[in-house]
Chains A and B, each alone.
Chain A
Amino acid sequence: MSLDADDIKNIAKLARLKIDDADVADYATNLSNILDLVEQMNSVDTEGVVPMSHPLEVIQRLRDDAVTESNQRDDFQSVAPATQDGLYLVPKVIE
């Protein structure tokens, strides 16, 4: 499996990661090597094998649809990069 510079730029875009142009070639080499390692999976026929979703095959637990948490907005927003009037600030998205 070989990824080229365009593949890397596309994956980085999907992952919302800014990658320096100078590093693209390195990422292409490393990611291609990792995908080569992963290719070994194809040496085994898994036709009909059930994919494992939990090691203990338990069923997802559900809780009652009730309010259980207290309001801790001030605590949580104390670590935010930018807030105002209890809201998180981001660059303008609508002109």
Chain B
Amino acid sequence: MSDYHEKTLAELSTLLQTGEVSSSALTEYFLSRIKQQDAELNSFITIAEDQAMAEAAEADERLKSGNTSALTGIPIAHKDIFCTRGIKTSCGSRMLDNFISPYDATVVNNFKQAGVITLGKTNMDEFAMGSSNETSFYGAVKNPWDTKRVPGGSSGGSAAAVAARLAPAATGTDTGGSIRQPAALCGITGLKPTYGRVSRYGMIAFASSLDQGGPMAQTAEDCALMLNAMAGFDEKDSTSIEKEVPDYTADLNHSVNGLRIGLPSQYFDEGLDDNVKAVIQTAIDQYRDMGAEIVDIELPNTSLSVPVYYVVAPAECSANLSRFDGVRYGYRCEDPKDLYDLYTRSRGEGFGAEVKRRIMVGTYALSAGYYDAYYLKAQQLRHLISDDFKKAFESVDVIMGPASPSTAFNIGEKAEDPISMYLSDIYTIAVNLAGVPGMSVPVGFVDGNPVGLQIIGNYFEESRLLNVAHQYQQQTDWHRQIPDSFK
């Protein structure tokens, strides 16, 4: 019996390049794991078996010809927010349940160019709005470490699939923590790059000034390999940054000796679970033992990030989601009696409750007479939150803290209380508001449930984050743990 699911992307890449396994065999192996084991998790919305096997056959030709990248022949999963030509792209919503995308997102296309295979599309909170994966039209995703618990969200399907090793890696998107929080709750490694680093073209928009795609994998090294394929300027995304893409694997082996790590007091306050705090503290002690210098810092405006986010994100979502009108694609209600009825019923029936709540908050915040009090005020505060990070990075190289105030909560526990769900994103949201990169790395367990250490860097310092995470993973094996039922 092969054990390909225990291998990292880097290890699978070696097996493919040396011809020890073919892409077709590897793809079939993971498709079969998904088909046998995903019923327990509900982490996939669509399995793209036929396309995947065709892509694997092409990759095998490339591997024979020698025209390869490090990822050629590797099968991965895409969050169902990325448009994939010829494959259903639902964004977790009834609104797009019938939507077969006519084009590929730039991220998907970049992976295709590298010879990467798409296994399928992972489940997610509807339109990426949620922190638990319970708002999906396709039902909640379950955490592979404890199927009574949530995997986090909104990239919960991707996180659960990678944690259960149903896919060696997956893509995610992060608007307020949607890569880092599920990565933490599922015990995998995830990176949200600097805003503008990865193209948003073909990535269904939630809050355009915050959304950023990124890799979710077992290790920091695997995230680096993925980011090499994902990152880069794209003229089709007007906020894409024209800046050279480094080789993200180049700095992985640098020592962390002398690294200055900032610990913001606001990330260790009374809102943090004591057991989670102890695990985070142990990880930081380990960095100290590895030669890093620990510095106490302040991010004074942290508590404002949740209220600011719940103006900026809903305002932008209400504008972005106005495109779903039942005319050009997506859900259309039965027998509309006039155009107004067509719009309101298609949208009322096509969107779920959380999406409707956020559209309404955003509509209210942007309505006549309220703009200055809400959106403008929020954008001013956003400047202060962003200045906190700029000031902190004058004295430290990276910032560390928890990615989530607790381990995974139970399915249903916060579903009826949007505010308590929103507050669970307190440690991740400010990073999106400032636009800096952030990661979550598995650093231990509380009662069998994973804990993620968040590492935040200055603009475009993804290489440093990956280096800092990789060095920890050279000394520990938390990232190699697999839940019992998926070994």
Quick one: closest B residue to A50, CB to CB?
Answer: B383
Contact between A34 and B327, CB atoms less than 8 A apart: no
Residues of B within 8 A of A39 (CB): 307
Do A76 and B102 form a contact, CB below 8 Å, given A15-B360, A50-B383?
yes
Contact between B419 and A16, CB atoms less than 8 A apart: no
State whether the Cβ of B351 lies closer than 8 Å to any Cβ in chain A. Answer: yes
Contact between B434 and A55, CB atoms less than 8 A apart: yes
Query: Which of B327, B357, B418 interacts with A81 by CB under 8 Å?
Result: B327
Q: How close is A56's CB to chain B, nearest CB, in angstroms?
A: 6
A3 to B360, CA, bound (A): 12
Contact between A37 and B306, CB atoms less than 8 A apart: yes
State whether the Cβ of B338 lies closer than 8 Å to any Cβ in chain A. Answer: yes
Q: Produce 1/0 per residue, A1-27, CB < 8 A to B.
A: 001000010011111111100000001
Quick one: closest B residue to A51, CB to CB?
Answer: B379
Query: Which of B347, B364, B367, B383 interacts with A16 by CB under 8 Å?
Result: B347
Contact between B381 and A56, CB atoms less than 8 A apart: no
Quick one: closest A residue to B238, CB to CB?
Answer: A61
Contact between A34 and B384, CB atoms less than 8 A apart: no
Quick one: closest A residue to B434, CB to CB?
Answer: A55
Contact between A15 and B102, CB atoms less than 8 A apart: no
Output the residue of B196, B235, B329, B360 with the most chain A CB within 10 A.
B360
Residues of A within 8 A of B322 (CB): 16
Within 8 A of A (CB), among B194-213: 194-196, 209
Contact between B102 and A17, CB atoms less than 8 A apart: no
State whether the Cβ of B29 lies closer than 8 Å to any Cβ in chain A. Answer: no
Residues of B within 8 A of A82 (CB): 332
State whether the Cβ of B274 lies closer than 8 Å to any Cβ in chain A. Answer: no
Query: Which of B238, B361, B433 interacts with A60 by CB under 8 Å?
Result: B238
Contact between A93 and B338, CB atoms less than 8 A apart: yes
A90 to B382, CA, bound (A): 41
Within 8 A of B (CB), among A59-95: 60-61, 63, 72, 75-76, 78-82, 88, 90-93
Report whether over half of chain B's contact residues are helix, strand or loop; otherwise say mixed.
Answer: helix
A81 to B434, CA, bound (A): 40
Among B370-378, B405-413, B447-455, the stretch that binds chain A is: B370-378
Q: Produce 1/0 per residue, B359-399, CB < 8 A to A.
A: 11101110100000010111111111010000000000000
Contact between A14 and B367, CB atoms less than 8 A apart: yes
Residues of A within 8 A of B103 (CB): 72, 75
Query: Which of B318, B329, B338 interacts with A79 by CB under 8 Å?
Result: B329
Do A11 and B367 form a contact, CB below 8 Å, given A31-B361, A33-B418, A51-B376?
yes
Query: Which of A17, A18, A42 interacts with B360 by CB under 8 Å?
Result: A17
Query: Which of B102, B325, B345 interacts with A72 by CB under 8 Å?
Result: B102
Contact between A34 and B102, CB atoms less than 8 A apart: no
Contact between B310 and A34, CB atoms less than 8 A apart: yes
Quick one: closest B residue to A58, CB to CB?
Answer: B241
Q: How close is B278's CB to chain A, nearest CB, in angstroms?
A: 29
Quick one: closest A residue to B386, CB to CB?
Answer: A52
Contact between A34 and B347, CB atoms less than 8 A apart: no
Contact between A35 and B327, CB atoms less than 8 A apart: no
State whether the Cβ of B262 lies closer than 8 Å to any Cβ in chain A. Answer: no
Using CB atoms and an 8 Å cutoff, list the residues of chain A in contact with chain B: 3, 8, 11-19, 27, 30-31, 33-35, 37-42, 44, 46, 49-56, 58, 60-61, 63, 72, 75-76, 78-82, 88, 90-93
**21 residue pairs from A and B, CB less than 8 Å apart:** A3-B364, A15-B359, A16-B340, A18-B344, A18-B349, A33-B418, A37-B306, A40-B304, A42-B377, A46-B381, A52-B382, A55-B196, A55-B209, A55-B436, A55-B459, A76-B328, A78-B102, A80-B328, A81-B329, A90-B339, A93-B338
Using CB atoms and an 8 Å cutoff, list the residues of chain B in contact with chain A: 98-103, 194-196, 209, 235, 238-239, 241-242, 301, 303-304, 306-308, 310-311, 318, 322, 325-330, 332, 336-345, 347-349, 351, 356-357, 359-361, 363-365, 367, 374, 376-384, 386, 418-419, 422, 433-436, 459
Given contacts A15-B359, A17-B348, A90-B327, 12 further A-B pairs with CB under 8 A are: A11-B360, A16-B325, A18-B344, A37-B310, A41-B377, A46-B381, A49-B384, A55-B386, A63-B235, A76-B102, A78-B102, A80-B329
